[in-house]
Chains A and B, each alone.
Chain A
């Protein structure tokens, strides 16, 4: 049994990002692959204040000095074999709350007790942009930097999309949209395929890491 945790960082209710993440997680869900989707929408995740409490005073079960939504999230992240992070693309980068979450995950990399617990987990990303060329790659790349710095292992879908799941939320990425259909991401067949292929490789690697090839 492997555990894949999907985290969506769109602030929009019923968003395209959440929609593709759900589709993607469903595509890999089987008897021996357990998936969970967590949305950061409406949650409070404060910035890391670099107080170094986690380095010096971290306690069992208490990972960070700040008590907000991360309290709930830390154990889920620790329990996961694979982290599939889905974010909308804002100015060719992650949404703010995803960046805040990544910063706060410092407590799991450097923390006095939890140090290294991200090591050898599998990481992959999905990014959803409005326009076709608005920075999906830099967004996914910033996730890759975080994964690699935490000694995680990256799974990618290969040449169909170098960095992971990459989809558009307007019609064909043109900026046109159908006001009657909010979930344009579901019409981006190729985008969905990149996300599914990313997740499939993530699951394959997570199983290999957990039980050996």
Chain B
């Protein structure tokens, strides 16, 4: 079994990565393979609504000059998908949004592409807006008949400077529980 996590933070080694690591620890305890994909630096663009994916139905985005198709391939190959983004102005980062828009439309064009995979989202905010960002990613899973797992509390943590989330015990516990719940579902699904 495999879980792929997409890190929407422009920082490769920031708080979002730390939180993904906490979820991964729990998955790995259950012998679930993990892969972390950084969206930072890839310069992925948003969807241009050309709808070529509906004509081609080849599980690919027709815009091929960035890393989105690579991400889509990883999503298809995985049993579970984690979307992780810092909270920017009560929403996800641009990097995460580009992935959601384009993998999302390709998934609708190719019905069933992500069906019944496990989905988990997490976010980190300095003070506010995490709920909206988290809902944004959880709602993505609901668009594709994926099964969305939660945690012992909404999957968010507090931090601004790199490493701040390490001081948020409650947030770290939430990530652990999120990882455990995802492992639970994956073990049931497979």
Q: Which residues of A contact B (CB under 8 A)?
A: 119-120, 141, 144-145, 147-159, 162-164, 201, 204-205, 208-209, 212-213
Residue of A nearest to B105 (CB): A159
A141 to B135, CA, bound (A): 8
> What is the bound-complex CA distance between A164 and B142, given in angstroms?
8
* Count of chain B residues near A, Cβ 8 A: 29
Cβ contact of A209, chosen from B116, B150, B152, B188, cutoff 8 A: B188
Chain B residue with minimal CB distance to A209? B188
Point out the residue from B151, B189, B190 that lies within 8 Å of A151, measured CB to CB.
Answer: B151
CB of B99 within 8 Å of the partner chain: no
B154 touches A158 (CB 8 A): no
Which chain A positions have C-beta within 8 A of B151?
148, 151
Q: Least Cβ distance of B116 to chain A in Å?
A: 8
| Beta-carbon contact of A151 and B177 below 8 Å | yes
Supposing A158-B144, A213-B188 touch, asked if A153 and B149 sit within 8 A by C-beta, the answer is yes
On whether the beta carbons of A151 and B188 are closer than 8 Å, the reply is: no
Are A151's CB and B181's CB within 8 A? yes
Could you tell me which B residues sit within 8 Å of A by CB distance? 108, 115-116, 135, 138-139, 141-155, 177, 181, 184-185, 187-190
Contact yes or no, A212 B139, CB < 8 A: no
21 chain-A/chain-B pairs, Cβ below 8 angstroms:
A119-B181, A144-B148, A148-B151, A148-B154, A149-B154, A150-B150, A151-B150, A153-B147, A153-B148, A154-B150, A155-B147, A156-B143, A157-B145, A158-B145, A162-B143, A164-B142, A204-B116, A205-B116, A205-B147, A212-B187, A213-B189
Tell me the complex Cα distance, A162–B107, Å: 14
Q: Report B136 CB to chain A, min CB distance, Å.
A: 11
The 4 closest A-B CB pairs, nearest first, are: A148-B150, A158-B145, A156-B142, A154-B148
